[in-house]
Amino acid sequence: MPTFSSLSDDSSLSKIPSQFIWPDHERPTLDSPELHVPPIDLKSSISDDPVALSDTCRLLNQVCRKHGFFVVVNHGVDAELISKAHEFMDLFFGMKLEEKQRAGRKVGELCGYANSFIGRFSCKLPWKETLSFRYSAHAHSSTLVEDYFASALGEELRSSGKLYQQYCDAMSKVSLTIMELLGMSLGVGREYFRNFFEENESIMRLNYYPPCQTPGQTLGTGPHCDPTSLTILHQDHVHGLQVFVDQQWHSIPPNPQAFVVNIGDTFTALSNGMYKSCLHRAVVNEESVRKSLAFFLCPNEDKVVSPPSCLVDEKNPRIFPDFRWPTLLEFSQKHYRADDKTLEAFSNWLFQTTLSTD
């Protein structure tokens, strides 16, 4: 069981605390088929080969309109860097609970160590531990991550912070390349979204899913769409990520050489609803720990999330209001548990909030 504190102990009735037991209709099923999406070769897509570029943009348009999930290979990120990032997770999450809780996430805040999410939710708790921190692509924020590690985890872990600074720099670079391709696939041009996310202020999350005695009763991460713009996820060799496509959960086969990428709510708003925010979840198993590295691309706080005018016309009227990312983040942290309706709920909340302050 994840290293949890103060849980009500009715475990006499089941092997895991009742707060982690999900309703029957949300529990994982054993018959999830694998989802095979042709991987996008990042290097050849942005080479001078017009055929490769055209094929990639066509595939992106097809899968992003359908479910918002794709896979990238030949991404250029150093395998050693990825391996070291996973190694740190074994070190950190293997620490004693009191050591991890030195970086404990405070209610309403995003950064820090969390387990059981008992402080945030009263039921359907995710079977995982997480460590989340912020990243900024601004040139003057080049020590943001290492400074966080040193202050929250101790000076002796500053070097691990440097490692994750490098990892996030690599994720930001891959994200911007993907934004070029997404821009071209939507017909808005190569630079539009790249420029929008150039100085991104993103979120890095380490997910650690301990084995569970009754994996069919719980979920590592519940069904949701990421409220962010784009998620670049590296899962280890253990199955767990599932995507909801054609009215069925599909398992994503692990591929250590690949990153799995999904569109988030904020990019759905930027695309005026044309690209879907991917509905996904993570299941756990009885035998082994599962880990994933999730980089959540977010625009900086000054950017107004509003679709380019070429994506709005009489056939495609505006769907979502203008907003800034920090407002949606605050909504997801303080007012709403992210699910597959976050953007709709946020739009209504924004409208109500605006009405009540007018």
Ligand X SMILES: O=C(O)CCC(=O)C(=O)O
Query: Least separation, in Å, of the C-beta of 226 and ligand L2PXNNRO?
Result: 4
Residue among 58, 105, 290, 318 flagged as catalytic: 290
How far CA 176 is from CA of 181, 232, 307, in Å, comes to 9, 11, 18
Residue 274: which residues within 8 A CB-CB, separation 6 or more? Answer: 64, 65, 186, 311, 316
Q: Among 149, 338, 343, 346, indicate the residue that binds ligand L2PXNNRO (CB under 6 A).
A: 338
| Part in contact with ligand X (CB under 6 A); list of ranges 55-63, 174-182, 186-194, 233-241 | 233-241
What residue has token string 């999450």? Answer: 93
Q: Which residues, in sequence order, are CB contacts of 28 under 8 Å at separation 6+?
A: 215, 216, 219, 242, 249, 283
Distance between CA atoms of residues 127 and 29, nearest Å: 16
- Residues in region 104-133 near ligand L2PXNNRO by CB under 6 A: 126
Q: Which of 146, 180, 201, 226 binds Fe ion (CB under 5 A)?
A: 226
The 164-203 contact track toward ligand X, x by CB under 6 A, reads: ----------------------------------------
Angle between the 158-185 and 79-93 helix axes, to the nearest 10 degrees? Answer: 130
Q: Which is nearer to Fe ion, 7 or 345 (CB)?
A: 345
> What are the angstrom distances between the C-alpha of 279 and each of 10, 247, 263, 334, 339?
32, 11, 9, 21, 8
User: How far is residue 195's CA from residue 189's CA, in Å, rounded to a whole number?
Assistant: 11
CB burial class (10 A; 0-12, 13-18, 19+) of residue 96?
A: exposed
Among residues 19, 45, 202, 235, the one that binds ligand X under rule CB under 6 A: 235
- Binding segment (CB under 6 A) for ligand L2PXNNRO, from list 47-55, 83-91, 224-232, 299-307: 224-232
Does 180 participate in binding Fe ion (rule CB under 5 A)? no
* Site membership for ligand X, residue 225 (CB under 6 A): no
Nearest to 276 by CA among 59, 69, 72: 69
Nearer to ligand X, 240 or 299 (CB): 240
Can 158 be counted among the known catalytic residues?
no
Window contacting ligand L2PXNNRO (CB under 6 A); options: 86-94, 219-227, 237-245, 272-280: 219-227
Question: Judged by CB under 6 A, does residue 226 bind ligand X?
Answer: yes
Q: Residues 332-354, buried b or exposed e (16+ Cβ, 10 A)?
A: bbeebebeeebbebbbeebeeee
List the single partner that 217 binds among ligand L2PXNNRO, ligand X, Fe ion, none, CB under 5 to 8 Å by kind. none
Among 144, 171, 297, 329, the residue binding ligand L2PXNNRO under the rule CB under 6 A is 329
- CA pair distance 202, 207, nearest whole angstrom: 16
Report 277-296 residues binding ligand X (CB under 6 A). 280, 282, 292, 294
Interface residues with ligand L2PXNNRO (CB under 6 A) are 126, 203, 205, 221, 224, 226-228, 296, 329, 332-333, 338
Interface residues with Fe ion (CB under 5 A) are 226
